[in-house]
Amino acid sequence: MFAHESWYRERAEPEARREGVLEPRRHVTGPGDRGGLDFVLRGATGEVFVYSEGIADRLAPLVGRTIVVHGKLVEVDGALELWIGRLETG
């Protein structure tokens, strides 16, 4: 998804494989809320916000399904979010 983007490739965080169920993120828009975090990946080690700016329409049909993400876990504004390099569906 973002693997071809320079801003993704330039981040130093290692790319890793994460598996989980994609779910919509329930949040209230307001001060301090970072846009583009419309989903959560729930896996065996917990949950992580998924950065989905510009790809939310491609992720929406995958809600409720188990997916495998190859991506980077990035800290932004003190919170961790998963940037998707590529994904697999089963």
27-36 contacts, C-beta under 8 A, 24 or more apart = 34/76, 34/77, 34/79, 34/81
pLDDT at 64: 96
The pLDDT confidence band at residue 78, using thresholds 50, 70 and 90, is confident
Domain count, the chain: 1
Taking the CA atoms of the chain, what radius of gyration do you get in angstroms? 12
Asked, for residue 85, whether it belongs to a domain, the answer is yes
Domain containing 18: what range?
6-26+36-89
pLDDT of residue 89: 87
For residue 82, the SS3 value is: strand
Say if 66 falls within a structural domain: yes
Q: What is the CATH number of the domain that holds 77?
A: 2.40.50.200
Taking 90 as the threshold, does the pLDDT of residue 75 lie above it?
yes
pLDDT tens profile 18-67? 999 999 987 666 655 676 899 999 998 899 999 999 999 999 999 999 99
31 lies in some domain: no
For residue 61, being part of any structural domain is answered with: yes
Q: What is the pLDDT of residue 29?
A: 66
